[in-house]
A and B are shown apart, each in its own frame.
Chain A
């Protein structure tokens, strides 16, 4: 089984709808991240969390919110989706510096907002 899973894998929604992307991990890592990938821009950080009570904004958090329900679960919500939020979204986990800061990525969620 995959260590980092994301649901759904693909989603098409309409402008103004609320949508939640979910991420689960079995690696036992405390650190979790949400990134967004756009062509020509690489991946950009939306939010990150070091534990259930520690959530931080990243580079492009406007229009997004997150919830860390447990060590293993980190959800990303778009309260009112807009077309320029169409992108590929990745969740990642890390064991921190003690684990060489390596991040492990989920398979991604392709989101299309019409």
Chain B
């Protein structure tokens, strides 16, 4: 079945550092790929998504590119802020699926 493997955390960074969180997937067909973010005490919210190969999703300075050849969707941000401290989830779904398959989540802490 479909699955997502993401880099284990926790990750601790200083402000203005470069962040990358690796995500690889296994799926049949052409899934849509997502990054969701969960801030402390809140539910998940969509950070960015890509629906086909070579698409780049971007939002709030974060980027991820759908790489079908390496089955990857790595999340990057060039200069993190304290407010980026959160848990980040990589996820996928098939074209007509009602299920999101999530990775285990990566906890990121940014220190001032």
Do A and B share a complex? no
The chain B residues found within 8 Å of chain A, CB to CB, are none
The chain A residues found within 8 Å of chain B, CB to CB, are none
